[in-house]
């Protein structure tokens, strides 16, 4: 599919690539965590305001039919970086904090493709793709990691905010680590003398609603066990500030040459503990306040580009790794204070779901002079397309075998074409195929609902068929009415699964 569609981009894609190479734009990809289709005011939210994201949308292109490849974070990030559907590769499920890196060194990624075209590349923020070879020594050089797949600079959260180790890793080493206080991590055995949330709830400032009751860091119990590294531990309230400062530093240091920054925010993932200056900014408690904090992070990046006179020379993208979740393991009043806010907007499901709220996510794109202001697009795009598209944007070509499931959608990304892909695959336990206005959900024996998060998963023992143009909320299953379409789309999905479409 990738090669045929890459060629099908035709003259429009060639013209876009040639123009991009002449300009060699910087690329800033801001990748939020668990932000839903309805969580931003530019997408219709009213209970929370996102003025900086609204500014980004108003100055560029807002998409309505863009999808993360999966309804959870690790597989979506794997697919976006490599251009390969994560369901093709075993071990790309949600990873523990001590997992081995799941992208083999030397794999072509959107970072390495841009690096080959002369870009300085950096990743700041959440990683969650594993590190090392499966037995990480957190007290020495941690390799392989981002460097081995094309990132010149990295300042990362190894896994997630709710998993140990609760430290930052900067360029292969734990930041601010005292060698006299080495770090130990286990996902099986607690460390004697280290309090856990399960046994010491009186030490917690935020309590778990389910799970998340092991090692306590900063008054919050996490998944997994950890001891040592006291000087390196993060403070949750400061995470957004720390990550944003590193992102701005990267821009400042590389402003005189083409750069690519992958800024993967912690917000709005649990535990949601925004800085005090954002507490109470919304009526929705920590989840809403974390959205306000996220918007501030975006605003700081936009200010930095303005300050360095880089705005006109930089493509800025904003998206999310999967759909929204309200209660994801902590008692932060996200459900109680949700009110009329609809994190998924008009969509059905959420994080973990094969319904569209699991993978249909915001995408905003701004590049002054190249993308028309305040424009809209319903072009079908997968985040799996980013490597091929970035390569075209930089004027490069894809190596053989690179981005096997990705399509060059540069004309659509720049607003030069109203169409992009013909079809894409969504993943959340089972697979779903979107083809034009139609969506087929494969049969599955999985649970109908995630009781812990109160999410409708969309699993059924029978195939499901929805017309998204007429029924965006996937309320009416048309499989019985259109059996021929079900058979045709099932056959196409099997061809894609086999890699022969």
pLDDT exceeds cutoff 80 at 406: yes
**pLDDT for the residue 356:** 98
Q: Among 262, 272, 287, which Cα is nearest to 240's?
A: 272
Q: For the segment 145-166, what is each residue's pLDDT rounded down to a tens digit?
A: 999 999 999 999 999 999 999 9
What percent helix, strand, coil does the chain show, rounded to 5? 30, 20, 50
Q: What is the pLDDT of residue 138?
A: 98
Q: What is the mean pLDDT of residues 307-318?
A: 98
Cα distances (Å, whole numbers) of residue 38 to 304, 315, 320, 357, 368: 27, 24, 12, 9, 26
- List of residues 6+ apart from 115 with CB closer than 8 A: 121, 150, 152, 260
Residue 26 pairs in a beta bridge with 314
Q: What is the pTM of this model?
A: 0.95
Residue 185 has pLDDT above 70, yes or no: yes
Confidence class of residue 55 from pLDDT cuts 50, 70 and 90? very high
Residue range 244-258: mean pLDDT, rounded: 98
Chain Cα centroid distance, residue 41: 19
Q: Residue 15 has what pLDDT?
A: 54
- What is the tens place of the pLDDT at every residue in 253-295? 999 999 999 999 999 999 999 999 999 999 999 999 999 999 9
- Residue 443 near residue 479, CB atoms below 8 Å: no
Q: In terms of pLDDT, which residue wins out, 97 or 19?
A: 97
Predicted pLDDT at 418: 96
As a whole number of angstroms, the distance between CA 19 and CA 476 comes to: 44
Q: What is the pLDDT of residue 16?
A: 52
- Which is higher by pLDDT, 2 or 360? 360
Query: Is it the case that residue 17 has pLDDT exceeding 90?
Result: no
pLDDT at 499: 87
| Across 159-188, average pLDDT | 98
What average pLDDT does the structure give for the chain?
Answer: 95
Pairing of strands 314-320, 26-32: parallel
Find the helix packing angle between 386-393 and 73-82, rounded to 10°.
30
Instruction: Output the CATH code of domain 425-497.
Output: 3.30.1120.10
Contacts of 220 (CB under 8 A, 6+ apart): 162, 197, 204, 205, 206, 236, 271, 273, 330
Neighbour count for residue 346 (Cβ, 10 Å): 13
CB distance 94 to 34 below 8 Å: no
How confident is the model at residue 113, as a pLDDT?
A: 98
User: Per-residue pLDDT averaged across 126-133, rounded?
Assistant: 98
Write down the pLDDT at residue 1.
47
Using a CB cutoff of 8 Å and minimum separation of 24, what contacts does 211-220 make?
Answer: 211/329, 211/452, 212/162, 212/270, 212/271, 212/329, 212/330, 214/164, 214/190, 215/164, 215/190, 215/191, 217/164, 217/166, 218/166, 218/273, 220/162, 220/271, 220/273, 220/330
pLDDT at 20 over 50: no
Predicted local distance difference test score (pLDDT) of residue 13: 53
Task: Please report the pLDDT score of residue 10 as a whole number.
Answer: 47
Q: What is the pLDDT at residue 2?
A: 47
Cβ-based neighbours of 245, under 8 Å, separated by 6 or more: none
Contact 42, 291 (CB under 8 A): no
Residue 31 pLDDT > 70: yes
Domain residue ranges of the chain, discontinuous segments joined by +: 2-177+234-421, 184-227, 425-497
| DSSP annotation of 167 | B
Residues of 200-211 as b/e, b for ≥16 C-beta within 10 angstroms?
A: eeeebebebbeb
At 453-490, the pLDDT tens digits run 999 999 999 999 999 999 999 999 999 999 999 999 99
pLDDT score at 22: 56
Which class does domain 2-177+234-421 fall in?
A: alpha beta
Whether residue 494 is predicted with pLDDT greater than 50 in this model: the reply is yes
């Amino acid at each position: 599919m990738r090669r045929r569609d890459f060629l099908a981009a035709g003259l429009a894609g060639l013209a876009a690539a040639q123009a991009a190479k002449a300009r060699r734009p910087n690329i800033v990809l801001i990748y939020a965590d668990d932000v839903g289709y309805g969580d931003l005011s530019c997408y219709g939210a009213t209970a929370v305001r996102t003025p900086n994201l609204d500014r980004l949308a108003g100055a560029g292109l807002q998409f309505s039919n863009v999808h993360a490849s999966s309804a959870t974070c690790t597989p979506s990030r794997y697919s976006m970086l490599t251009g390969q559907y994560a369901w093709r590769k075993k071990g790309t499920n949600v990873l523990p904090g001590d997992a081995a890196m799941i992208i083999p060194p030397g794999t072509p990624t959107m970072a390495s493709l841009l690096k080959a075209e002369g870009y300085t590349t950096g990743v700041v923020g959440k990683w969650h793709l594993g590190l090392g070879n499966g037995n990480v020594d957190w007290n020495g050089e941690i390799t392989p990691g981002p460097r081995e797949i094309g990132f010149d600079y990295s300042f990362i959260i190894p896994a997630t905010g709710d998993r140990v180790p609760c430290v930052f890793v900067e360029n292969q080493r734990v930041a601010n680590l005292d060698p006299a206080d080495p770090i130990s991590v286990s996902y099986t055995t607690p460390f004697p003398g280290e309090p856990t949330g399960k046994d010491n709830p009186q030490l917690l400032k935020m309590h778990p609603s389910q799970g998340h009751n092991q090692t306590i860091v900063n008054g919050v119990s996490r998944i997994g066990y950890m001891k040592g590294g006291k000087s390196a531990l993060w403070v949750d309230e400061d995470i957004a500030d720390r990550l944003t400062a590193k992102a701005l530093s990267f821009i400042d240091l590389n402003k005189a040459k083409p750069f690519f920054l992958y800024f993967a925010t912690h917000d709005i993932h649990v535990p949601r503990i925004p800085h005090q200056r954002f507490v109470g900014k919304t009526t929705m408690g920590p989840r809403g306040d974390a959205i306000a904090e996220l918007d501030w992070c975006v605003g700081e990046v936009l200010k930095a580009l303005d300050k360095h006179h880089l705005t006109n020379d930089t493509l800025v993208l904003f998206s999310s790794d999967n759909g929204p979740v309200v209660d994801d393991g902590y008692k932060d009043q996200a459900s109680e204070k949700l009110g009329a806010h609809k994190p998924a907007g008009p969509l059905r499901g959420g994080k973990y779901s094969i319904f569209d709220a699991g993978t249909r996510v915001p995408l905003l794109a701004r590049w002054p002079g190249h993308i028309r202001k305040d424009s809209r697009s319903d072009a079908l795009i997968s985040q799996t397309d980013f490597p091929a598209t970035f390569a075209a944007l930089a004027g490069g070509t894809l190596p053989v075998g690179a981005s096997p499931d990705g399509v060059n959608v540069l004309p659509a990304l720049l607003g030069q074409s109203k169409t992009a892909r013909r079809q894409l695959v969504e993943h959340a336990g089972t697979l779903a195929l979107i083809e034009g206005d139609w969506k087929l959900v494969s049969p599955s024996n999985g649970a109908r609902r995630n009781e812990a998060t109160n999410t409708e998963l969309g699993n059924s023992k029978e195939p499901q068929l929805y017309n998204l143009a007429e029924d965006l909320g996937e309320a009416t299953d048309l499989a019985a009415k259109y059996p021929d379409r079900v058979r045709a789309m099932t056959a196409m999905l099997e061809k894609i699964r086999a890699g022969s479409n």
